[in-house]
């Protein structure tokens, strides 16, 4: 079983079927097709407000193109030091924004806290013209350590942003897992809570290769489209990105897939804890960070289970990531192999 990442999973049947159907005929390029024109309406219904949607093929493009509309080349983006934009996207933010700087800060389990954020921003702003002033705050939902911001926590962070006249961006690579955990509506945790732009992840949760930039101010659409084109992320066969996204949100496929992944992670966590493991912190999405005895880790590897060590959390801490297609019955069968 492969718990190394949810990126290793295949695309789900609903998206495969939609791509197969759309692949039977020709259509206008660069978003002029019928499928692409349906995106704004479909996502506006999902988020209960008028939105504009820009599909891109990667999460890095979704994050960095989004930030290019929220921060100037000489501005700063406050984020957690564990944030994907800080740890795993090279100098992408600086490249796409023309020079903006990341301003990483601390926080428990990869989450920013409103009071500390307020103090951090105030200290940065007081340093004057010789330093970088924050213009945007970026949070990740669910976080890089598998925790989830509550609606109240996002509202509190947004209040700090309003106080300092900053924009709020949400990296939603695992947004579906967060919503499935919270049981709230997508609107509750985004624009109603003060989020300006969301990168809406799909690739990790059953799509082939697509994430969506969701703009809660549709007036930003032209600017984002220009940034996408300039950076080489406008697909000529745009309809295949749009097809994935429509199949993903129709009939709540996105939420069903995420719910299954979260459930699989819970089952796995219970199993591992039965064998002496303990969670490094509460698991709220589809990622587990587990303090695991070396003997148990060796037995898991011998049983063909793939997972990664996570030394930043401790010498014997490992990450396990469940996916939309993780076989829960196989997880339960591991109990026999662990003895």
For 202, list phi and psi in degrees, rounded to 5. -135, -30
Measured CA to CA in angstroms, residue 134 lies from 75, 114, 245, 304 at distances of 6, 15, 33, 46
Among 72-76, 209-213, 301-305, the range scoring the smallest mean pLDDT is 301-305
CB 311 within 8 A of CB 317: yes
Neighbours of 278 (CB within 10 A): 10
| Gap between the Cα atoms of 21 and 17, Å rounded | 6
Note the pLDDT tens digit of each residue in 143-189: 999 999 999 999 999 999 999 999 999 999 999 999 999 999 999 99
pLDDT score of 336 more than 90: no
For 172, list phi and psi in degrees, rounded to 5. -110, 45
- Note the pLDDT of residue 66: 98
> pLDDT confidence of 134, banded at 50, 70, 90?
very high
Considering the chain, what percentage of its residues have pLDDT values greater than 70? 100
Residue 17 region, left (φ>0) first, then alpha (ψ -120 to 50), else beta? alpha
Note the pLDDT tens digit of each residue in 76-132: 999 999 999 999 999 999 999 999 999 999 999 999 999 999 999 999 877 778 889
Note the pLDDT tens digit of each residue in 49-65: 999 999 999 999 999 99
- Note the pLDDT of residue 114: 98
Q: What is the mean pLDDT of residues 15-44?
A: 95
Considering the chain, what percentage of its residues have pLDDT values greater than 90? 90
Number of residues in the chain: 339
| CATH 3.40.640.10 location in the chain | 12-251
- Note the pLDDT of residue 86: 97
| Of 255, 294, 259, 274, nearest in space to 336 by CA | 274
- Note the pLDDT of residue 310: 95
| CATH 3.90.1150.10 location in the chain | 254-338
> pLDDT confidence of 39, banded at 50, 70, 90?
very high
- Note the pLDDT of residue 316: 93
- Note the pLDDT of residue 127: 76
Note the pLDDT tens digit of each residue in 202-220: 999 999 999 999 999 999 9
239-249 and 39-47 helices, crossing angle to 10°: 30
- Note the pLDDT of residue 130: 85
pLDDT score of 308 more than 90: yes
Task: Provide the 8-state DSSP code for 311.
Answer: G
| Gap between the Cα atoms of 87 and 1, Å rounded | 27
pLDDT score of 238 more than 80: yes
Note the pLDDT tens digit of each residue in 241-277: 999 999 999 999 999 999 999 999 999 999 999 999 9
pLDDT score of 339 more than 80: no
The DSSP string of 29-54 is STT-STTGGGHHHHHHHHHTS--EEE
Count how many Cα atoms sit within 13 Å of the Cα of residue 143 in the half-sphere of its side chain.
26
Q: Which two tokens stand for residue 49?
A: 């407000």
Measured CA to CA in angstroms, residue 222 lies from 35, 190, 193 at distances of 19, 21, 24
Q: What is the mean pLDDT of residues 278-295?
A: 94
In this structure, CATH architecture of domain 12-251: 3-Layer(aba) Sandwich (3.40)
pTM above 0.75, yes or no: yes
- Note the pLDDT of residue 125: 74
What are the residues whose beta carbons fall under 8 Å from the beta carbon of 14, sequence distance 6 or more?
206, 247, 248, 250, 251, 253
| Gap between the Cα atoms of 72 and 98, Å rounded | 8
E strands of the chain, at which residues? 52-56, 76-80, 101-105, 134-140, 167-172, 197-201, 211-215, 278-279, 287-291, 308-309, 317-321
In this structure, CATH architecture of domain 254-338: Alpha-Beta Complex (3.90)
- Note the pLDDT of residue 233: 96
CB 80 within 8 A of CB 105: yes
């Amino acid at each position: 079983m492969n718990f190394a990442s949810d990126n290793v999973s295949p695309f789900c049947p609903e998206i495969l079927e939609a791509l197969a159907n759309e692949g039977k005929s020709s259509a206008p390029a660069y978003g002029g097709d019928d499928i692409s024109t349906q995106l704004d309406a479909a996502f506006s219904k999902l988020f209960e407000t008028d939105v504009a949607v820009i599909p891109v093929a990667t999460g890095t493009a979704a994050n960095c193109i989004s930030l290019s509309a929220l921060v100037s080349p000489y501005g700063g983006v406050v984020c957690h030091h564990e944030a994907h934009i800080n740890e795993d996207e090279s100098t992408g933010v600086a490249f796409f924004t023309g020079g903006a700087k990341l301003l990483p800060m601390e926080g428990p389990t990869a989450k920013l806290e409103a009071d500390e954020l307020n103090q951090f921003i105030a200290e940065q702003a007081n340093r004057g013209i010789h330093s970088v002033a924050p213009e945007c705050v970026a949070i990740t939902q669910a976080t890089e350590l598998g925790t989830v911001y509550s609606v109240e926590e996002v509202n509190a962070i947004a209040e700090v942003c309003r106080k300092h006249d900053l924009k709020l961006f949400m990296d939603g690579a695992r947004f579906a897992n967060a919503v499935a955990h919270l049981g709230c509506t997508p609107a509750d945790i985004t624009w109603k809570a003060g989020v300006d732009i969301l990168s809406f992840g799909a690739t990790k949760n059953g799509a082939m290769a697509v994430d969506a930039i969701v703009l809660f101010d549709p007036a930003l659409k032209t600017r984002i489209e220009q940034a996408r084109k300039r950076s080489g992320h406008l697909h000529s066969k745009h309809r295949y990105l749009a097809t994935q996204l429509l199949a993903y949100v129709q009939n709540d496929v996105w939420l069903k897939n995420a719910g299954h992944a979260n459930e699989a992670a819970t089952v796995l966590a219970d199993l591992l804890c039965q064998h002496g493991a303990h969670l490094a912190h509460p698991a709220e999405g589809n990622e587990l960070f587990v303090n695991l005895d070396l003997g148990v880790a060796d037995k898991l590897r011998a049983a063909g289970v793939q997972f990664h060590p996570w030394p930043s959390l401790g010498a014997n801490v490992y990450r396990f990531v469940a996916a939309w297609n993780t076989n829960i019955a196989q997880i339960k069968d591991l109990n026999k192999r662990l003895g």
